Amino acid sequence: MHLKNLRLIHFKNYAQAELTFSPEINCFLGNNGSGKTNLLDAIHYLCLTKSAFNPVDLQNIQHQKDFFTLIGNFELKGKELEIKCILEAKKKKQIFNSGKAYEKMSEHVGLLPVVLIAPDDTALIKGGSEERRKFFDSLLSQLDRNYLAHLVRYQHFLKQRNALIKKFAERDRYDTSLLEPYDQEIVTLSKKIFTQRKNFAEQFKPILLHHYGEISGQREAIDIRYESQCNRDDFEKEFYQSLKKDLILKRTNMGIHKDDFVFEIDDFPLKKFGSQGQQKSFLIALKLAQFQVFKEKKETKPLLLLDDIFDKLDDFRISKLMELVAHHEFGQLFITDARPERTRKILQDIDADIAYYEIEKGEIQKKNN
């Protein structure tokens, strides 16, 4: 799979831009704030129907404009696809596949697998459980449409139940019969999603351990533990017993939205006891494991987006990553860097078709190797 070309209209800092890509390595080079990461985000939009960096769609429209359009032509398993994303102010976002509009955004998710490695990934380790759930939910949603359907349905009923609980709090009285339909759905979906997450975590763990060992040189042992209230035998009973607490706190306190994926190093929390280098190694291993899972399950190499990672990694970890590039372990790569000479030096011995793009204030120029 690869992205052949990309067109942007009124997207972030780009009034208009058109790019044709190498099927192997593409480098976006320029000063910070020039628009390099915005190009990666445009690719992310076309693959996953949303931004990787700003969840508010309207804020991705160029300043003082009222729409954006993204168009990308992909080759997937020998088939040509044109993916178009259009967002107009006060209108619903639309995604088109070869001229045909999707009824639901979820129908597109998983068609074009993509892996992003970015500086903000540190939130996966240092942030709260929501960051880690989002990572695994995104991964699973690209692999399994049933999982995505269950997750969307769960989030809908959770939102409705929380709104009803807040109304009860405002009126200072409640009616359990009104909650019952939401309770049944949340309990049932929690059990289904728990099973899907648990099975996936068991399959994902050995792949993660392998990649961490490769990157770190087998220096220490890591682990990943999936924690969930649903793992308790009396989960359903506890869910119904938690109503009093829900009413006091005005939100649902039991369910898979409380799950966590705990990262450990030598039996201690990575968040507290891992060095900066160990945390970086873990993050890269996490994303490489994601890449491998997509490659095996989707039977195609996903797009790999590397945002400003040369600034964040030491020479040892960069060399390990470039070994994989040199051995053509990846498919199409997109790399951003604020220091053009560094990227050229790192890639100078890589036998691949490399395209360089110099970017300045939303203007793009393709340069020779």
Query: Does 32 appear as a known binding residue?
Result: yes
**What pLDDT shows up at residue 369?**
65
Distance in angstroms (rounded) separating the CA atoms of residues 179 and 184: 9
CB 137 within 8 A of CB 149: no
**Residue 353: phi, psi to the nearest 5?**
-80, 110
**pLDDT digits over 205-221, tens only?**
999 999 999 888 777 89
Query: Does 33 appear as a known binding residue?
Result: yes
Q: For 61, which DSSP code?
A: B
**pLDDT digits over 77-88, tens only?**
999 999 999 999
Query: Does 110 appear as a known binding residue?
Result: no
CB 109 within 8 A of CB 170: no
Q: Walk across the sheet containing 222-227 and list its strands.
A: 222-227, 260-265, 268-269
Per-residue CA distances from 269 to 62, 104, 124, 138, 263 (Å): 42, 39, 13, 23, 6
**What pLDDT shows up at residue 332?**
96
pLDDT of 368 > 80? The answer is no
Mean pLDDT of the chain: 94
Mean pLDDT of all residues in 19-38: 95
- Closest by Cα among 239, 262, 271, 265 to 252: 239
Q: Can you give the pTM of this predicted structure?
A: 0.91
Query: Does 231 appear as a known binding residue?
Result: no
194-200 LR contacts (CB < 8 Å, sep 24+) = 194/228, 194/230, 194/231, 194/256, 194/259, 196/140, 196/144, 196/146, 196/147, 196/150, 197/136, 197/140, 197/226, 197/228, 197/256, 197/259, 198/226, 198/228, 198/231, 200/136, 200/139, 200/140, 200/143
Residue 109 token pair:
């998710």
Residue type, 55: P
Residue 252 token pair:
């649902």
**What pLDDT shows up at residue 362?**
85
CB 211 within 8 A of CB 289: yes
pLDDT of 248 > 80? The answer is yes
Q: For 116, which DSSP code?
A: E
Query: Does 65 appear as a known binding residue?
Result: no
Distance in angstroms (rounded) separating the CA atoms of residues 45 and 103: 17
Query: Does 277 appear as a known binding residue?
Result: no
**What pLDDT shows up at residue 321?**
87
361 SS3 class: coil
**What is the largest distance, in Å, between two alpha-carbon atoms of the chain?**
71
Residues 42, 94, 138, 128, Cα dihedral to 10°: 80
pLDDT of 132 > 80? The answer is yes
Which residues, including other chains, have CB under 8 Å from residue 154's CB and lie 6 or more apart?
A: 185, 186, 189, 190, 193, 255, 256, 257
**What pLDDT shows up at residue 277?**
85
- Structure confidence at residue 101 as a pLDDT band (50, 70, 90): very high
Residue 95 token pair:
């995604």
Q: For 98, which DSSP code?
A: T
- Structure confidence at residue 192 as a pLDDT band (50, 70, 90): very high
Residue 351 token pair:
């036998």
Mean pLDDT of all residues in 250-277: 94
Q: For 277, which DSSP code?
A: H
268-269 vs 303-307, strand pairing mode: unpaired
Mean pLDDT of all residues in 91-114: 95
| Residue linked to tokens 């924690």 | 227
